[in-house]
Amino acid sequence: MKVPAHVAIIMDGNGRWATRQGLPRLEGHRAGVDNIHRVLDCLVGYGVKHVTLYAFSTENWGRPEDEVSGLMSILEEVIYEEAEALHSKDVRVRHMGRRDRLSSRLLDAVSYTQDLTKNNGSINLNIAFDYGGRDEILEAIKQMVREGVCPDDLDEETFARYLYTDGLPDPDLIIRTAGELRLSNFLIWQSAYSEYFTTASMWPDLGEDEIAEAMESFSQRQRRFGALRSEDPSG
Ligand code: IPE
Ligand code: IPE
Ligand code: MG
Query: What pLDDT, in 10s, does the model give residues 7-23?
Result: 999 999 999 999 999 99
- Supply the Cα-derived Rg of the chain in whole angstroms: 18
Say if CB 187 and CB 160 are below 8 A apart. Answer: no
What is the pLDDT at residue 148?
Answer: 97
CB crowding 64-74: b at 16 or more within 10 Å, else e: eeeeeebbeeb
What is the pLDDT at residue 233?
Answer: 55
Question: In the chain, how long is the greatest CA-to-CA distance?
Answer: 58
What is the pLDDT at residue 235?
Answer: 45
Q: How far apart are the first and last CA of the chain?
A: 15
What is the pLDDT at residue 131?
Answer: 99
Whole-angstrom Cα distance, residue 61 to residue 13?
A: 17
Domain ranges of the chain: 6-219
Q: Which ligand is nearest to the CA of 71?
A: 1
CA of 168 relative to ligand 3 center, distance in Å? 26
Q: Active-site residue 12, yes or no? A: yes
Q: Which residue, among 71, 134, 70, 124, has the nearest Cα to 95 in the 3D structure?
A: 124
CA of 172 relative to ligand 2 center, distance in Å? 20
Q: Which atom of ligand 1 is nearest to 16's Cα?
A: 14
What is the pLDDT at residue 229?
Answer: 74
Q: Which residue, among 129, 141, 142, 61, has the nearest Cα to 99 in the 3D structure?
A: 129
What is the pLDDT at residue 228?
Answer: 87
Q: Which atom of ligand 2 is nearest to 131's Cα?
A: 6
Q: Which CATH architecture has domain 6-219?
A: 3-Layer(aba) Sandwich (3.40)
Residues 6+ apart with CB under 8 A from 45: none
Mean pLDDT for back-to-back runs of 10 residues, the chain (235 residues): 97 98 98 98 98 98 98 97 98 98 98 98 98 98 98 96 98 98 98 98 98 98 89 52
Catalytic residue among 41, 60, 120, 185: 60
Whole-angstrom Cα distance, residue 110 to residue 195?
A: 30
What is the pLDDT at residue 232?
Answer: 56
List the beta strands (DSSP E) in 18-90.
50-57
